[in-house]
Every structure is written in C-alpha cells, then in structure tokens.
Amino acid sequence: MKTSQRTPTIIDVAHHAGVSVATVSRVINDANSVNADSRKSVVEAIRKLGYERNRSKYRPTGVDMLPILMPDIINPYFNQIAQGVQDAAEDKNLFPVIINITADPDHQRKIVNSLKKQSLNGMVICSADLVAEEWTAFCDETDIPLVLMHAHVDHLRIASILVDFETAASRVTQHLLDLKHSRFAYVAPNPESEHSRMRLRGIEGTLAKQELKIRNEHIVFTSPSEEGTFQAVNHLLGQSKSEPPTALIVYNDFLATGALHALRTLGLRVPEDISVASFDDIPMAAHSNPPLTTVDVPKYRMGKLAVQLMMQLRENYPPASGMIMLDAPIIMRQSTGPAPDK
C-alpha cells in the first residue's frame, strides 16, 4: 500500500528502509556490495511503497526520446558529437533530441530540473557546469541513466566519457618547443572550468621540464565567443610589446578564429611572427587562414560511444570503471612554424 498519492521516489525508499539512497541504487542495480539485511530492507520498502523505476516504462518496440544537452548548438564541436549519437541510435529505437542549455549554469539547472518530470530512459550531456552532487541527486531521485562527457561522476547510473586534454596540451606545447618557441600565451574562457585548467596544466608542466614558465599576463581568460577572443588577443599583445609571445595556444578552434582575426588586424603574420595552435579539429580548422594546427578530439566516436554506454546503463550493466578516457593526437598544419629570429 502506498504511503501517499504521489509517485514514490528512490528517496522515499531509502527513508523507509533506513538506508542511504546509494544503497537503494545498488540494490536496484543488483550490485554485490550490499549486505543481506540492508538488501532485505530495501526490497521490502520497494514492495510496500509500490516503487517503480522509470526504466519500467521503456517499450523496446517503440521510439524512445533521447535528449542531448549541449551548451552551444552553434559550435560544430557539439554538432559532430550529436551526429555520432544520431548514427548510433538509428537501429536502437532511439530518437535523439538536441536541447540547447547555453553556458549559463542557472539556466542549465532550470532545464535539468524540468527534465525530472519527463518519462525518460536516459540523457546524454555533452558539457555542463553542474557539479557532481547535482548529477548524483538527479539520478537518485529519477533513476534516469546519464552519459556525461568531459566530467566524471561516481554513480551506478552514470557513465563518463573524458578526453585527456592535459596530455594533448603537453603535445601541443612540445611541438612548439621543438620549433624553438620560448614565449607562450594561453587564451581560454572560464578560469573555473576543469577543461581550461587541464590544458593549462599540460602547458605549464611541459614548459617546466625545459625550465620555462608562461608569464601571468600571457594567461588570459575571456568570454566563450569569437569576439571575446578577438578582444582578448588585442589586449594581450597590446600589453606585451617589448616581449610579445611567439606561440599562442587557444582553448578551441572556434575561439581560435577570433584570435586569427585579431592577429591579422594587428598586422602580424601566422606563423612567421606568431604561431597559433588550438583544440578540437572542427571542420573549419582545416580551412582557416592559415589552416590550424590543432588537437583531434574524437567527437563523432564520442557520440557513438555515448549510445553504447547508454544501452548498457539501461540494461543495468554499467561500465566496470564508469569512466572512459580517450586520447587526442595533434594534427600539424600551417598555423605553426619556427620561432621568429627577432
């Protein structure tokens, strides 16, 4: 007999059984790490409350909506991930739906909270600013499985796909060091972003091995737009006329287009006066002027992998580690060259 008119949640089960929400989740997912007494209490609470998982609403013969949450639908990086999801979902009765959550954390929370009320059997989050505790609470309350990209959350209903940006940034830095560069600059959005910090750690760690250091004034954080990067690079070089950087590393290709525009406006040649490198290898990177040296992030593969992990989560077979780390090699093009003599 149900204790209330509303649909019982996993939190209600945990409260009734006198255990944590995580313990209930482990019992539901048939994990072996729950002792017999706790398991018995959870099973009894589920029976008494009439708790049913969202997964029970899944109909294998029907078409099932799969939301793809992305912060910027204009950025081709996320579109290529979505294409991978779309292609992998075609033969699995999944209907991917793109939701633009923007770069505003409050707006992201509003959308995620509204999705709690929907009958969903999974979501793919390309990138978001919500902290681990928020994703954990979401899964504990709804039991909706999540595939997170660029973030790792330790939960039985969450799988994570990460890219080793620190190693990738180290490779970019070493490439520029091999070209005899010694004065570096780094431009990125959001200094609080772990993605920004990973890149910076890779740059600084590689420079330190050569007893070099990137100057504080050559580390610039700006808004996540081409215009923001354009203004940031103008300001950076305007403040560094005596010893300007000869190598500029930009957070991603999308922002690097703004950097290239700024350098042309200042009358600087790429790569003769300054080399530019970035990350992602979106289609425009190979066709910019000059073509960008960049890190090849496996975006399409990430999308296909997200569907594979989602199907495992829906069948209660989460990946053993809950996290997959992908490598990202560097692609060398014409935007990087030997350091100028002067």
- pLDDT reported for residue 53: 62
Residue 22: CATH number of its domain: 1.10.260.40
Q: What is the pTM of this model?
A: 0.81
Please tell me whether residues 285 and 189 are part of one structural domain.
yes
Residue range 275-291, pLDDT digits in tens = 999 999 999 999 999 99
pLDDT digits (tens, 9 = 90+) for 240-271: 777 899 999 999 999 999 999 999 999 999 99
H-assigned helices in the chain: 10-17, 21-28, 36-49, 76-89, 105-115, 132-142, 165-178, 194-209, 226-238, 253-265, 299-314
Q: What 3-state DSSP class applies to 168?
A: helix
Domain count for the chain: 3
Whether a cis peptide bond, with omega within 30° of 0, leads into 271 is yes
Report d(CA 126, CA 336) in Å as an integer: 30
- How far is 296 from 282, CA to CA, in rounded Å? 8
pLDDT at residue 43, as a whole number: 86
4, pLDDT greater than 90: no
CA distance readout (Å), 248 to 46, 241, 244: 58, 15, 10
For the cut 80, the answer to whether the pLDDT of residue 22 exceeds it is no
177: pLDDT confidence band, cut at 50, 70 and 90? very high
* pLDDT at residue 315 in the model: 77
pLDDT over 70 at 310, yes or no: yes
Pair 273, 216 in one domain: yes
Read off the pLDDT of each residue in 120-128 and give the average, rounded to a whole number.
Answer: 92
Q: Which of 91, 195, 188, 90 is nearest to 148 (CA)?
A: 195
- Do 79 and 124 lie in a common domain? yes
Residues 140 and 172 in one domain: no
As a whole number of angstroms, the distance between CA 333 and CA 105 comes to 35
Is 5 within a domain? no
335 falls within a domain: no
Which of 8-22, 100-114, 234-248, 279-293 is the least confident region? 8-22
Q: What is the pLDDT of residue 35?
A: 83
Residues 6+ apart with CB under 8 A from 176: 184, 247, 249, 275, 277, 336
Q: Which range of residues forms the domain containing residue 239?
A: 165-296
In a domain, 2, yes or no: no
pLDDT at 60 over 80: no
Q: Which stretch of DSSP H or E encloses residue 69?
A: strand 64-70
- Could you tell me the pLDDT band of residue 321, with boundaries at 50, 70 and 90? low
Average pLDDT over residues 314-324: 73
Average pLDDT over residues 223-251: 91
**Domain shared by 267 and 282, yes or no:** yes
Question: 285 and 316 in one domain?
Answer: no
SS3 for 96-127 is EEEEECCCCHHHHHHHHHHHCCCCCCCEEECC
pLDDT of residue 6: 62
- Joined tokens for residue 57: 């609403």
Assigned domain for 332 exists: no
Query: What pLDDT was estimated at residue 63?
Result: 62
Q: Which of 218, 213, 253, 254 is nearest to 233 (CA)?
A: 218
The whole-number pLDDT of residue 1 equals: 40
Is the pLDDT confidence value at 210 over 80? yes
Shared domain for 171 and 292, answered yes or no, is yes
- The 3-state DSSP class for residue 239 equals coil
Confidence of residue 20 (pLDDT cuts 50, 70, 90): confident
What is the helix (H) or strand (E) element at residue 323, kind and residue range?
strand 323-326
Q: Which residue has the higher pLDDT, 190 or 235?
A: 235
Confidence of residue 33 (pLDDT cuts 50, 70, 90): low
Q: How far is 294 from 168, CA to CA, in rounded Å?
A: 10
Q: Is residue 339 part of a domain?
A: no
Mean pLDDT over 320-333 rounds to: 89
- 3-state class (DSSP) for residue 181: coil
The three-point CA angle 231-237-242 to 5° equals: 160
* Low-confidence winner among 4-8, 34-38, 173-177, 325-329 (lowest mean pLDDT): 4-8
**Higher-scoring residue by pLDDT: 162, 94:** 162
Fill in the amino acid letter for 296: D
Q: What is the mean pLDDT of residues 138-156?
A: 90
Phi-psi region of 295 (alpha: psi -120 to 50; beta: other; left: phi over 0): beta
The predicted structure's pLDDT at residue 61: 42
Q: What is the mean pLDDT of the chain?
A: 88
CA gap 153, 189 in Å, rounded: 23
